[in-house]
Amino acid sequence: MQPDEALRLGLEQAARHREGCVIIGVPREIFPGERRVALVPGAVPVLTKAGFEVVIEAGAGREAGFPDAVYAGKGARILQDREAVFSSAGILVQVLCYGSNDRTGKADVPLFQRDQLLIGFLRPFGSLDVIKEIAEAGVSSFSVELMPRTTRAQSMDALSSMGTVCGYKAVLAAADMLPKLFPMLTTAAGTITPARVLVIGAGVAGLQAIATARRLGAVVSAYDLRPAAKEQVQSLGGRFVELPIEAANAEDARGYARPQDDAFYLRQRELLGKVVAEQDVVITAAVIPGKKSPVLLTREMVYAMAPGSVVVDLAAERGGNCELTRPGETFVDHDVTIAGLINLASSVPYHASQMYARNLSAFLVHLLKDGKLRIDPADEIVRETILTHGGDIVNARVRKFFGLPDLDSQ
């Protein structure tokens, strides 16, 4: 039997319980402060119609605004303890699985069932030891971070969904911390000039930050090393900052910015310095998958900003784009507020959960054909997202990232 065929059969035999019905289990999120839930009540009828059964841990959706009674009314079964969810489900769906949840996620490992499917944020380019631990537990895991950015997979793109939420919330947080109003106002006391906002990194989060800041009335500029971002920034009413420096191979095949050498970042910081000094708010959202976030704002650049200015660093979880950022902390240095905000999507749990549930539901329905799991490694969506199976790490990108040999060569 060929390796791909063995993989397909192994995955299709997983998650079969109760006379062939595929049961999806939704445990409560246990990362400290996490308020989202993997599936919302509105997703249950979609999944049951497709042929799944859904079981929910009691209280899993409460903090997101979804009581148990609403889930039950939509056809889900409520189970009172976490162990029951893990033991009864063939497919587990979470927001922050072990991997992304590096604080309390390890407690779930003894609850995994061999041949279970695990779907959620797994931080595939994080800790190799953790990914190996997940593999050795015998689960077949699918990392939503690895979803291909293609038209077919667009409805399943959880990274973009959560990036949208983060970009929106970053602007609201900045507006709350800034001792100025965002919009231009004509009042009896004269005219209030609008705030000036610079967004560095025009990915999904950055573009949403631009749109939100514009809606609040700010004058918005944006910078991205990818030339293709210019049109997107301008379409949202932002001014694109062009620097006399060109990045080499600025964009990869997935649309992400490629890391550059130290000389490029040094020159970039020199040129951005004058632009940053003129801003009331700087929002940084330059993230490179699997890499430490590049430092784009130095200490000197921050100190050159006017008193009361605000820096919101959306790359804080991966080291930060600002040299001064402390992940998870907000503090003032030289009269500039620096916010290293993390897990922002959890601060809007109702709609963040709703968006994430739609992404997961689309993926789950994609895996089910005629009431049975049809998981084909030849399918790009399956091939790109599967992380572990059969006790091993099977994702080619992840193996290459960690320097592991190709599976075909073993």
- Say how far apart CA 399 and CA 394 lie, in whole Å: 7
Is 71 one of the catalytic residues? no
Is 392 one of the catalytic residues? no
Tokens of 249: 């191979």
Across 72-89, b (16+ Cβ under 10 Å) vs e yields: eebebbebeebebbbebb
Q: Which of 62, 87, 102, 256 is catalytic?
A: 256
Query: Which 3 state secondary structure label does DSSP give 392?
Result: strand
- Say how far apart CA 165 and CA 347 lie, in whole Å: 9
What values do phi and psi take at 167, rounded to 5?
A: -60, -40
Number of neighbouring beta carbons within 10 Å of residue 329: 12
Number of neighbouring beta carbons within 10 Å of residue 7: 22
- Say how far apart CA 117 and CA 351 lie, in whole Å: 25
Q: Which of 77, 149, 267, 374 is catalytic?
A: 149
Which candidate, 127, 103, 213, places its Cα nearest to that of 168? 213
Is 157 one of the catalytic residues? yes
Is 279 one of the catalytic residues? no
What's the angle, vertex CA 311, arms to CA 310 and CA 314, rounded to 5?
A: 140
Which candidate, 98, 91, 121, 124, places its Cα nearest to that of 387? 124
The DSSP symbol for 322 reads: B
Q: Is the dihedral of CA 164, 166, 171, 175 positive or negative?
A: positive
Which candidate, 177, 213, 211, places its Cα nearest to that of 194? 213
What values do phi and psi take at 402, rounded to 5?
A: -90, 5
Rounded to an integer, what is the distance from CA 57 to the centroid of its chain?
Answer: 23
Is 326 one of the catalytic residues? no
CB 196 within 8 A of CB 280: yes
- Say how far apart CA 302 and CA 335 lie, in whole Å: 10
Q: Which of 82, 116, 141, 157 is catalytic?
A: 157
Which candidate, 285, 36, 288, places its Cα nearest to that of 173? 285
- Say how far apart CA 205 and CA 222 lie, in whole Å: 12
Q: Which of 154, 234, 303, 333 is catalytic?
A: 154
Active site residues: 149, 154, 157, 160, 256
